[in-house]
Chains A and B, each alone.
Chain A
Amino acid sequence: DSGVTQTPKHLITATGQRVTLRCSPRSGDLSVYWYQQSLDQGLQFLIQYYNGEERAKGNILERFSAQQFPDLHSELNLSSLELGDSALYFCASSVGYGKSYEQYFGPGTRLTVT
């Protein structure tokens, strides 16, 4: 158990809908990362927050947004869902901001868009 929690574990929704994925980092970790894992794209970085502020952005679609709250939990919002958004979404956390800090991954949320 990495100490990172993600809810829900599974999510099934229809095209055009909006969903929110939640992540609670390990106690004491200030940095949260979101990754998407799909069969064709592999594991791709989406976005990173550090202590409530956005610090880095990857190939995140405009239909996707995220935020980190004062209690350091983070939410990833996916809107106008398309079939291609079906994937595993992982949250990771680390103590600090930078390449030397080990990232701990949560169990993921499996999103299925029908």
Chain B
Amino acid sequence: GESVGLHLPTLSVQEGDNSIINCAYSNSASDYFIWYKQESGKGPQFIIDIRSNMDKRQGQRVTVLLNKTVKHLSLQIAATQPGDSAVYFCAEPVLWGGKLIFGQGTELSVKP
């Protein structure tokens, strides 16, 4: 079945540095991934997505990289700001219906 997981439960970075959050998946047929950000007291919020026909996708200050060979994806946040402090989840929508399978999440703390 589908499975996505994250490598580290917590990550602490200095304001202004770049952050890298990793995620591994198990199903080689997986073809679509989404990164969500969950701030304290709020629901998950869509950040960026990537399909398996791409290796890289860029958004505003965020980049997602997909390595299908090792079944790994990462979220890179450039010039991390205090407002980036949150829990980040990788998720995979399943084929039928689109329900999301979430990884465990990485809590990002940004030190001023």
Using CB atoms and an 8 Å cutoff, list the residues of chain A in contact with chain B: 2, 4, 31, 33, 35, 42-45, 48, 50, 55-56, 58, 90, 92, 94, 97-108
Contact residues of A: prevailing secondary structure: strand
Note all chain B residues with C-beta closer than 8 A to A42: 102-105
Question: Could you say which residues of chain A place their CB within 8 Å of the CB of B93?
Answer: 99-100
> Does more than half of chain B's interface fall in helix, strand or loop, or is it mixed?
loop
Which residues in A have their C-beta under 8 angstroms from that of B83? Answer: none
Query: A100 to B103, alpha carbons, bound, how many Å?
Result: 19
User: What is the chain A residue whose CB lies nearest that of B42?
Assistant: A107
The answer, among A31, A90, A94, for a CB contact under 8 Å with B43, is A90
Report the count of interface residues on B (CB-CB < 8 A): 21
Q: B88: which A residues are within 8 A, CB to CB? A: none
Determine if B42 and A98 form an interchain contact, defined as CB atoms under 8 angstroms apart.
no
Provide the bound-state CA to CA distance between A99 and B29, in Å: 14
Across the interface, do B99 and A2 meet the contact criterion of CB distance under 8 Å? no
Residues of B within 8 A of A106 (CB): 43
A99 to B98, CA, bound (A): 4
Knowing that A43-B89, A55-B97, A97-B97 touch, tell me 6 more A-B residue pairs with CB under 8 angstroms: A56-B97, A92-B100, A99-B94, A103-B98, A107-B41, A108-B43
